[in-house]
Amino acid sequence: MFGRNKGSKASEGDLAAQVVEWRRWLHENAERSYEEHETTDYVASVLEDMGLKVHRFDLGTGLWCDVPAADGTSSKDVVGLRADIDALPMTEDTGLDFASANEGVSHACGHDAHTAMLLGAASLLVADPPPQPVRLIFQPAEETQPGGAKKCVEEGVTDGLTQLMGLHCDPHRPTGEVGVIAGPITSSNANFGITVTSSGGHTARPHETGDTIFAAAQIVTGLTAALDRRVDPRAGAVLTFGSINGGSAVNVIPAKVEMWGTLRSAKRAVWEIGEELVTTSVASIAATFGVEAEVTYTQGPPPVINDEECAERARAAVVSVFGEEGVGTAEQSSGGDDFSWYLDSVPGVYLRFGVHSGKGEETDLHHPGFLLDEDALADGARLFDAFARG
Ligand SMILES: [Zn+2]
Ligand SMILES: [Zn+2]
């Protein structure tokens, strides 16, 4: 399976070629969240060839390993570096030679690049051991709710860590620029479903049954209004329905209407009260119109909030790799990342890593034609390495 040269202890000279080779294998063998078995085996094999001891997560995919410090001790404070390894359930349309060979699965979020860059960092750290141990986390299932990171934390992967760094490819930023900020950089996310039910009946006599369509419409507008009145307007809370289904005939009140939506927010406080707010508001609106309503609420990750000290360390790492001109700013995005789960137990920083070559159109994350500049990858490995050394 790993017929190609996986390499070990890549020198500066061949680092770029090696990281690109790893990235292409991972890209071609894209696997969905919690199904990253070959990906995990591949990453394990590369790390083991470097002489590292790999620990697989109990949850089935993903792994972590510690690179020992220069003096061989492993008990000192440990710095963590994290990559996510999963792909998306969507068909690739890039025309690349190494496009995903797995039908309906592709690395449209660039996690193949994250993984390859962290492998590159591993080779640099092994070749020139760092002053303190470094933990490399290859985490599965970032693209799920609540995210694989939560389970990795529950398995103790942050135990002993003093600082953590992660990054995400940013296709709207040029290669050579990295966005660094202290404070919030992503938003929280949660999915919810609402099932409105009644006995159903004739549209001529809504008073004899519960009018599920009418009640569903009241929930769509009422829930949004409740959020608007009960949450600080500065919190950047966005509640949106993406799906509503019910009914099949013009003169029949359906017995069931199903709706799905998302609640995102820039503030952790909204993430904390989201489930209670949605559940109680839906229950009271449903009661007003004499229907039943069941809510299923899947909590996603809270916002990623970068620690100030870690952001400063990251800024210095960016300068050491790219120079002062490589330091960019970053705004809090409405997207989420489960990196935030780690930050409940260790201070950390999440960076926006430029991967646009400057040629051709920018392609967005989660787009079937998503492309990134492979020339950025070796410097990404150096950036992880530089952060780890402090
Ligand atoms: Zn994604
Ligand atoms: Zn992603």
CATH number at residue 80: 3.40.630.10
Q: Above 60 in pLDDT, residue 254?
A: yes
For residue 280, report the distance from its CA to the centre of ligand 1, in Å. 31
Q: Is the pLDDT of residue 285 over 70?
A: yes
In a domain, 3, yes or no: no
Residue 235 to residues 109, 167, 303, 381: CA-CA distances in angstroms? Answer: 27, 24, 11, 35
Say how far apart CA 67 and CA 72 lie, in whole Å. Answer: 9
What distance in angstroms lies between residue 257's CA and the mean position of ligand 2's atoms?
33
Cα separation of 224 and 239, whole Å? 6
Inside any domain, residue 6: no
Say whether both 170 and 222 belong to one domain. no
CA 112 – ligand 2 centroid, Å: 10
As a whole number of angstroms, the distance between CA 385 and CA 54 comes to 19
Task: Give the integer Cα–Cα distance in Å for 369 and 258.
Answer: 32
Task: Among 284, 299, 314, identify where a domain stops.
Answer: 299
pLDDT at 1 over 60: no
Same domain, 78 and 146: yes
Give the burial string for 295-326 (b: 16+ CB within 10 Å, else e).
Answer: bebebbbbbbbbbeebbebbbebbbebbeeeb
The reply to whether 220 falls in a domain is yes
Task: Tell whether 18 and 139 lie within a shared domain.
Answer: yes
Are 384 and 240 within one domain?
no
Mean pLDDT across the stretch 137-166?
97
Tell me, yes or no, whether 7 lies in a domain.
Answer: no
CA of 338 to the centre of ligand 1 (A): 10
Residue 111 CA to ligand 2 center (angstroms) comes to: 6
What is the 336 CA–ligand 2 centroid distance (Å)?
A: 9
Residue 237 CA to ligand 2 center (angstroms) comes to 21
How deeply is 43 buried, as exposed, middle or buried, from its count of CB atoms within 10 A (0-12, 13-18, 19+)?
buried
* Cα 90–Cα 94–Cα 95 angle in degrees, nearest 5: 125
Each residue of 341-380: pLDDT tens digit?
Answer: 999 999 999 999 999 999 989 999 999 999 999 999 999 9
Distance 299 CA to ligand 2 centre (A): 18
Dist. CA 312 → ligand 2 center (Å):
23
Is 256 found in the same domain as 227? yes
Q: What is the mean pLDDT of residues 208-237?
A: 95
Which tokens sit at 265?
A: 């927010």
Distance from the alpha carbon of residue 142 to the mean position of ligand 2, in angstroms:
7
Q: How far is the CA of 335 from the centre of ligand 2 (A)?
A: 9
Q: Is 354 in the same domain as 240?
A: no
Report the pLDDT averaged over residues 225-247: 94
Q: Taking a C-beta distance cutoff of 8 angstroms, is the pair 23, 374 a contact?
A: yes
- Ligand 1 centre to CA of 46 (Å) is 24
Quote the domain boundaries for residue 110.
12-186+304-389
Q: How far is the CA of 84 from the centre of ligand 1 (A)?
A: 10
DSSP characters over 82-101: EEE--BBSS---S--TT---
Q: Which of the listed residues 299, 331, 346 is the one where a domain comes to its end?
A: 299
- Both 64 and 182 in one domain: the answer is yes
> Do 250 and 164 lie in a common domain?
no
Percent of the chain with pLDDT over 70: 96
Q: Does 4 fall in a domain?
A: no
Q: What is the CATH number of the domain that holds 235?
A: 3.30.70.360
In a shared domain, residues 308 and 286: no
How many angstroms does the Cα of residue 237 sit away from the middle of ligand 1? 20
What is the number of other CB atoms lying within 10 angstroms of the CB of residue 352? 23
In terms of domains, do 174 and 85 share one? yes
Q: What pLDDT is recorded for position 334?
A: 86
Q: Per the domain annotation, does 93 fall within a domain? A: yes
Beta strands in the chain (DSSP E): 54-56, 63-67, 78-84, 134-139, 161-174, 178-179, 183-184, 188-197, 201-202, 238-246, 252-253, 256-265, 292-299, 305-306, 327-328, 348-356
For residue 168, how far is its CA from the centre of ligand 2 (angstroms)?
6
Ligand nearest to the CA of 366: 1
Ligand 2: centre distance to CA 132 (Å) = 29
Distance from the alpha carbon of residue 109 to the mean position of ligand 2, in angstroms: 5
Query: In sequence order, what E strands does 94-235 have?
Result: 134-139, 161-174, 178-179, 183-184, 188-197, 201-202
My answer on whether 170 and 35 are in the same domain is: yes
pLDDT of residue 356: 97
Identify whether 60 is part of a domain. yes
How far apart are the CA of 314 and the centre of ligand 2, in A? 20
Per DSSP, 22 falls in state H
> Backbone phi, then psi, for 172, in 5-degree steps?
-105, 15
pLDDT for the residue 73? 73
Residue 31 lies inside a defined structural domain of this protein? yes
What is the distance in A from the centroid of ligand 2 to the CA of 166? 11
| Residue 387 backbone phi and psi in degrees, to 5 | -60, -45
| Count: domains in the chain | 2
Last residue of some domain: 282, 299, 316?
299
Ligand nearest to the backbone CA of 339: 2
In this structure, are 153 and 36 located in the same domain? Answer: yes
Which residue pairs from 41-46 have beta carbons closer than 8 angstroms and sit at least 24 positions apart in sequence? 41/1, 42/1, 42/2, 43/85, 43/115, 43/119, 43/138, 45/2, 45/6, 46/6, 46/7, 46/8, 46/22, 46/119, 46/122
pLDDT value of position 6:
42
